[in-house]
Amino acid sequence: MFDCSSLYSANSGGKKRTYVELGKRGVAGIRLSGEKINGSTIAYLSRQLYFITHNYKKACRGIVIYCEKFVPADKLTYILFEAILYNLVHTYGYEVRLGWGDMSTAINTEGLSDSTIPKLSFYLQNQELYQRKFHFEQNERHFRRVFTSDQLKGDGVSKLLGDLKIFFLTSNITKKNTDQLALVISELADNVGDHTDADCLLDVDISKDFYTRDDDETGKYIAVNTVVLNFSPKCLGHDIKEKVRNHYYKESARYDAIQEAYENHKQHFDKNYDEQDFFNVVSFQDLITGRKGDTQTGGTGLTQLIKSLGKNAAEHSCYVLSGNRGIAFYPELLEYNADNWIGFNQQKNFIDHIPDEKVIFRSPTQLCGTGYNFTLVYRREKDELYGETANSVTV
């Protein structure tokens, strides 16, 4: 079951005080202000929901959420929001109402229009349809699946790759690029499934193709936005951290090198780069796995593919978030050295140098699990005129 309940406790705020009043008929209201729906909004909403689910339990019958402006910062943000709404309805059984003052999207969040969020009241009247739409969608611009870990075993990823290629057939992006995209997305699903038994949500949308760029008068641009998300008790670098710290591996020069790198990086640990970041970076190293006793698995494929994707796109914004820490993927920093270590730094040196400053970031949301957010913008291949209003590309 794809269940995001862990978001509420993880973002409960600790000592931060919060109070949500329970109104007549057991209805609680949450108002979300701010210019955008972003990581802070998700953290705030989760904190309020933790209070409601923890204190009122069944005394609360309904929750009304009102957003002054529903302008998501990126795809992962609205997907998390969508998962929360679905969880409140299907796991907790609350009556949920969602209202907003203004809703708008950009090239990287256009998929919101085909999510269950704008038509929530319709789906609440059709629960079966709601469940189906949340778990499965495939139309010209939108591809959604929720996989159990079993579905990603065996030939599951191969079938997914085939499905993604079919999905991209009708897009206005070159086949070379869509084939690469399909590969990366299926690799991400394989990667997520390999490290956890949690269910995995995959959502891909293709934007409309009328976006323009200031430095390109004739070009029209189109984006492919992808989220791969799981809610697992373990963060990205958790298993590998346990393995390295407790020496759960057979004799291995490669794992000894990780110990050496840890000692070097430890000297630079501070609020911007800490142990969790180090082990998140370790999880992308070749021939390193979190599984106990297993010394050599994994591969360089994923980061290499991400690099080639970024190089072929006109604009890109790709990151992975786990816990409240993230790694941003910059193509120029995704280089393995001769010994197949990836440093995420200009020195291309994992053992001696920490990642470049722009690579590691902190999120206000504590995500129990792992979420990949990929936005890749391409120049449109075909030249048909669509006669639609042009917008600027902002990723």
Partner 1 sequence: MNCMAKQQIQLQFEKIITNLAGNRFGRDTYIAQVKGKIDIEEKNIIEIPEIIEDVASSFVQGIYRELSEQYGKERALEIMELHSVRPEVMEKIEYAIRVYGI
Q: Interface residues with partner 1 (CB under 8 A)?
A: 153-162, 165, 179, 183, 186-187, 190, 193-194, 296-302, 304-305, 340
Grouping H, G, I as helix, E, B as strand and the rest as coil, residue 107 is: coil
| CB nearer partner 1, residue 153 or residue 245 | 153
CA angle 15, 19, 20 (to 5 degrees): 145
Q: How far is the CB of 32 from partner 1 (least distance, A)?
A: 39
Q: How far is the CB of 59 from partner 1 (least distance, A)?
A: 46
Radius of gyration of the chain (CA): 21
| CB nearer partner 1, residue 326 or residue 343 | 343
Q: How far is the CB of 179 from partner 1 (least distance, A)?
A: 7
Q: How far is the CB of 290 from partner 1 (least distance, A)?
A: 14
Rounded Cα distance, 29 and 23, in Å: 8
Grouping H, G, I as helix, E, B as strand and the rest as coil, residue 329 is: coil
Rounded Cα distance, 97 and 66, in Å: 8
| CB nearer partner 1, residue 132 or residue 159 | 159
| CB nearer partner 1, residue 170 or residue 252 | 252
Nearest Cα to Cα of residue 8 among 59, 56, 48, 66: 48
Q: How far is the CB of 186 from partner 1 (least distance, A)?
A: 5
| CB nearer partner 1, residue 190 or residue 205 | 190
Rounded Cα distance, 327 and 220, in Å: 30
**Region class of 332: left (phi > 0), else alpha (psi between -120 and 50), else beta:** alpha
Q: Which two tokens stand for residue 330?
A: 């910059």
In DSSP terms, 227 is beta-bridged to 203, 373
CA angle 304, 308, 309 (to 5 degrees): 115
Q: How far is the CB of 182 from partner 1 (least distance, A)?
A: 8
| CB nearer partner 1, residue 6 or residue 138 | 138
Give the end-to-end CA distance of the chain in Å, rounded to a whole number. Answer: 32
Rounded Cα distance, 309 and 317, in Å: 11
Q: How far is the CB of 198 from partner 1 (least distance, A)?
A: 16
| CB nearer partner 1, residue 116 or residue 186 | 186
Rounded Cα distance, 120 and 218, in Å: 38
| CB nearer partner 1, residue 117 or residue 342 | 342
Tell me, what amino acid is at 236? Answer: L
Tell me, what amino acid is at 50? Answer: Y
Q: Which two tokens stand for residue 394?
A: 């902002």
Count other C-beta atoms under 10 Å from residue 365's C-beta.
24
Q: Which two tokens stand for residue 389?
A: 């209003």
Tell me, what amino acid is at 120? Answer: L
Q: How far is the CB of 187 from partner 1 (least distance, A)?
A: 6
Q: Which two tokens stand for residue 190?
A: 């394989």
| CB nearer partner 1, residue 40 or residue 304 | 304
| CB nearer partner 1, residue 184 or residue 393 | 184
Q: Is 6 exposed, middle or buried (0-12, 13-18, 19+ CB in 10 A)?
A: middle
**What is the Cβ-side half-sphere exposure of residue 224, based on CA atoms within 13 angstroms?**
28
